[in-house]
A and B are shown apart, each in its own frame.
Chain A
Amino acid sequence: MLLRACSFRVFWAGSDSVSAVDSSLTGPSSKTSENPGQGTKSPRRRRLAVAGVALGAVLLTGCQLPTFGAYKGATSQGRSTFHLWQGFFIAGLIVGGFTMVLILWAIFRYRRRSDAIPRQTQYHTLTEIIYTISPILIVLGLFVATVLVENEVTAVEPHPYTTIHVYAFQWGWEFQYDNGVKVIGQTTDAPTMMVPTNETVRVYLRSYDVLHGFYVPEFNFSRYASPGYWTSFDLNVLHNGVYRGQCTQLCGLYHSIMFFNVRSVDPGAYQTWLRATGAFQRTHPNSIGQLPASLHGNVNGTAPGYSGNSGNSGTGNSGNTGGALYGD
C-alpha cells in the first residue's frame, strides 16, 4: 500500500517508448555505439544508457512511480503537489539512505578491536567543504522545484468558472454560491460542497469565530479559515466524485468531528443543481441552508464512519457516486 511498486508491464512500456525517443534524440551517438568497431562492450553500455534514460524518464513523468503513501491528487493543483512529493521522497530516500549507510558503516566497521588509540584526526578541510557545498546544491534544487509547484498550486485564474464562499464556524461549514444558494451543516451532519468538474473553482475562505482548517486529503491541500481576513485559492477537480474533507486546525470541543464533503459533478449537472437549490431556497426562506435529501448532493448527508455509511467518500476517484439525479 505504502510502497506500491511500479508494475512490471508499465515499467517496460515506459522504457520502450523512451528507447525510441533515445534513438531519435541522440541519433548520431547511438549510431556510433552500434559501430562494430566498439567491440563487445557496446551493447551492454547501450543497454545501460537506455536503462538510465528510462529511469530518468520514469522519474520525470512521475505517475509510474510509487505513490509513497500520498494521494495522487484529485485536483490539478493536488496532482502537482503529488509529483513534488514524489521528488522529495526520492531525494529523501537517497540522502537519508546515504547518511544511514555511513552511520551503519561507522558503527560496524569501527567497533573497538584493540586498546590502541586511533588517529586523532580533527579536520579534513576538503571533506568538510564537500559536505557543506553538496547540501547547499541539493537545497537549491529542492527550492527550485518547490517554487515551480508552489506557483501552480497557489495560482488564481482571473476568470474562474464559479466562486464559492466558504465560512467555517464552531463546528460546521457554510457554503455560499454565486446565485445566493447557501448550504450549511454541522459536525457529523456533514454539508457537501458542490463543485463542477474540470472547471476552475475559486474558493474564498473565512471563519465566523476561531481558526479552522479547510482540508481535503485527496486534494493534497489545506488552508486555514481565519476570522478577520479572506483567503482564496483555486481548485480544478479532475474527476467526478465525492471527496471527504475535515477541519484540521484545532477549533475547540467538537474539532474531531467537523466534517464536510466535496462533490464534483459535470458542469451541466452543477448548474442544474444550483438552479434547483436556488428555487428551493427562495420558496423556503426559513430552511437556513438545510436542503432536502434530493438536493443534498451527498447521498445520505452524514459523515463517513459515523452512521455505518459504507463510504462513498474517501475513495474519490471512483467517481459517479450516486450521480443518477444529476446525470453525471
Chain B
Amino acid sequence: MATQEVRYTVTDVIAPGGAHEHIHYPGEEYAERIEHHEHGPSGILKWLTSTDHKVIGLSYMITAIVVFYISGIMALVMRLQLTSPHSSLLSFAQFNALFTMHGSLMLYLFAGPFAFGGLANYIVPLQIGAPDMAFPRLNALSYWLYLTGSITMMLGFFVAGGAAQFGWVAYAPLSSATSSPGAGPDVWIMALVLTGFSAIFTGVNLCGTIFYLRAPGMTMWRMPIFTWNMLVTGILILIAFPVLTAALVMLFCDRHFGTHIYTAVGCLHVNGTHMASCGSPLLWQNLFWFFGHPEVYILALPFFGIVTEILPVFSRRPVFGYKGMVFATMAIAALSTGVWAHHMFTTGAVLLPFFSFLSLLIAVPTGIKFFNWIGTMWHGQLTFNTPMLFSIGFLFAFLMGGVTGIMLASPPIDFATHDTYFVVAHFHQVLFGTAVFAGFAGVYYWYPKMFGRMLRDNLGKWHFWLMFIGFWVTFMPQYVVGLLGMPRRVASYPSNLGWQSYNIVSTVGAFIIGISFVFLLVNFFVSWRKPIPAGDNPWDAHTLEWFTTSPPPHHNYTHLPPIRSERPTWDYNHPEHIVVPHGRSARSNGHANGKVKAGV
C-alpha cells in the first residue's frame, strides 16, 4: 500500500550510499542517542551551546523579531517628526541617524536573518527529512556572528558623535572619514562585516544541506518550493554578500588607511578633464548595488517560498505549476544579478536601455509566480485562518509594489521620482509585503510546529486587519506626496506645498500598524500561559515537517513516510488523492495509487 511507512535509521538519512553506509544503528541504540542528547545542557546553557538547527533557528527568529520591534519604533518616531513641516521633535542629525539605523536594522538584521537564518534554519532540514544542517557548528557561528553584529550596530547610538548618518546605502563619498567622522560609521561598517560573514556561512550551510542531506526519495523535483527558494537564496547570498563585505573593507581602508578607492580627491577640474589617478565614488555604488539588488531578492525569495507553502495548504490543493514556480525563482535570481544599475539611472553614467530592459523583464517570472498563486487558489476550498489572511495580504501588497516597481524600471519615470517618497512607498510596499506580511504568515503557520501549541486565530485576525488597513493608510499617501516632489530622507519640508496632510495620514497609518503588532505580543503571551495543543499537523498540511512531532525531537525524525511527490505528508494522510507526479491530476478513483505503488 502507498500508506506503508518506511523506517530509516539516522545513518540512512545522513549518508545514503555514502562512506558510512556500513554503520548501522539499531533503533533502540538510536533512541538512546537521542535520549543522551536530550539530557545534555538545558536552560540558558542549551541556548548558548546548542548546534541544533531548531534552537539556532529560534534564536535567529527571536533576535530578528526584537530587532524588528526596535526598528519599527524608530519608524514611528520618524513618522511623528514628519507630522509637521518644521518639527522640533528630532534634530536633523538625530533624524539622519534614525533613518540610517531603521533601514540598516530592517534590511540587514531583520528581513534577511529572519528568513534565511531563522525560518530556513528551522524549516529546511525538516522539509527535506534531514537531521540537522550540514555544518551545525558553522551554523552556531553564523548565529553568534549575527547577534554580535546586531549588538555592534546598535552600539552606534552610544559612541561619541552618534550612530552613522549616511543612510543604509552609505554612499561614497558621504561615508568617507571627512564627511562622516567619528566611531559611529566604523561601528556600522564592522557590524555589517560581521553579519555579512554570518550570512555567507548560512548560505554555505543552506546549499550544503539541500544538496547533500535530503532524505531518500526527496529528489530535487520533490522539494517543497520553500526549500527550493532557500536554495536559490543561498546561492544568491554567495554571489552578493562577499561583494558587500569586500566593498566595506575597502571603505574602511579609505576611512583609516589613507587609500582613495571611493574618493574623488584630485579629480576636480573646472574645464572637465579627468585626472587618471583619482578614485571613483561611483565604484561604491556599483559594488554596493551589485550586492544590493540580489539582496532585494534575498529578502523576497524566502518569503515567496512561505506564501507558496501556505496558499496550497489553505486551499487544499497542490502548488499550481510547481516547475514553472521553480524556474521562475531561478529566472528572478539570474536576472537579479544584472539589474543593479537601475538604482543608478540618475547618475548619468550607466547604460540605461540594458538595465531598464532586464529590470522590466523581472516582471515576467514574478508575474508567473502571481498567476501560479492564483491558480493554486482557483477551484480550491479556501479557509481563512491567520496564515492564509497574511498570505493574501502579501498578494495585494506585493502586487501594488510590483506595479510601481515596473514604473520605476523605466528610466524617464525614475528620473522624475528617484529619491522621492514615491520610491519610499514603492520599496516599503514590496518589503513590507514580503518580510512583514509573508514573514508573519510564516510565523503564524509554523508556530504550532515549533512550540506544539496554537496561536489564537481571533487575535491573529485583529493583527492582520489592523496591519492591512494601516499598511494602505501609511504608504498610499506617500506615493502622492512623492509625485508632488517630496524627497526622501528629509527631516523637515516646506510648509506651503500641501505635503503636511499626506504626511499626517501616513503617520496615522504607521501607528495603526504599530498597534497591530501589540496583538502579536499578546498572542505569544496567551499561547504561553494558556496553551492549546497543536498536534503534529493542525493545518492538514502537505510537506514533510508536518509528519514529525510538534516540536520535533532532537534530529527531527524517528521515521519518515514514503516520499514520492512534493507533498509526502498529504500523500500519507490522503492516500486516495495521490497525484501522479508530472502528469495531469488524478481523480480519486484509485488508479493513481496503483501507479505510485508500482513506482516504489
Contacts and interface: CB of A to CB of B under 8 A. Distances in A.
Tell whether A pairs with B.
Answer: yes
Interface in A81-104: 81-82, 84-85, 88-89, 92, 95-96, 99-100, 102-103
Contacts of B413: 81, 84-85, 88
Interface string B457-480: 000000000000000000000011
A281 B173 CA distance: 33
Nearest to A108: B382
Contacts of B480: 2, 69
B399 A96 contact: yes
A304 B171 contact: no
B266 to A, nearest CB: 10
B16 interface: no
A205 B403 CA distance: 32
Contacts of A124: 320-321, 375
B259 interface: no
A150 B345 CA distance: 11
B378 A70 contact: no
A187 B26 CA distance: 78
B381 interface: yes
A124 B585 CA distance: 10
B395 A222 contact: no
A217 interface: yes
A12 B241 CA distance: 58
B519 to A, nearest CB: 22
Contacts of A117: 316, 381, 574, 577, 588
Interface residues of B, number: 103
A192 to B, nearest CB: 16
B492 A257 contact: yes
Contacts of A25: none
Interface stretch (B188-196, B346-354, B554-562): B346-354
A150 B411 contact: yes
Which residue, B280, B379, B410, has most C-beta atoms of chain A within 10 A?
B410
B211 interface: no
B485 A246 contact: yes
B217 interface: no
Given A208-B268, A228-B281, A110 B380 contact: yes
Interface in B161-189: 165-167, 171, 173-174, 179-180
B53 interface: no
Given A85-B407, A85-B413, A99 B493 contact: no
Interface string A95-139: 110011011001100111111111111111001100110011011
A86 B400 CA distance: 17
Given A154-B352, A252-B165, A222 B418 contact: yes
Contacts, number: 309
Given A139-B364, A314-B497, A233 B412 contact: no
Nearest to B285: A211
B487 interface: yes
A248 B490 CA distance: 9
A103 B396 CA distance: 8
Interface string B426-446: 000000000000000000000
Contacts of B319: 122
Interface of B: 85, 92-93, 95-96, 165-167, 171, 173-174, 179-180, 264, 267-268, 270, 272, 274, 278-282, 315-324, 346-349, 352-353, 356-357, 360-361, 363-364, 367-368, 370-371, 374-375, 377-384, 392, 395-396, 399-400, 403-404, 406-407, 410-413, 415-416, 418-420, 479-480, 483-485, 487-497, 574, 577, 579, 583-588
Nearest 4 Cβ contacts at the A-B interface: A305-B494, A217-B485, A228-B264, A231-B348
Given A70-B483, A257-B492, 15 more contacts: A85-B416, A92-B406, A110-B315, A118-B379, A149-B410, A210-B174, A211-B174, A211-B281, A215-B485, A222-B418, A223-B347, A223-B348, A244-B485, A305-B493, A314-B497
7 contacts: A112-B381, A146-B356, A210-B174, A211-B281, A228-B279, A248-B419, A256-B489
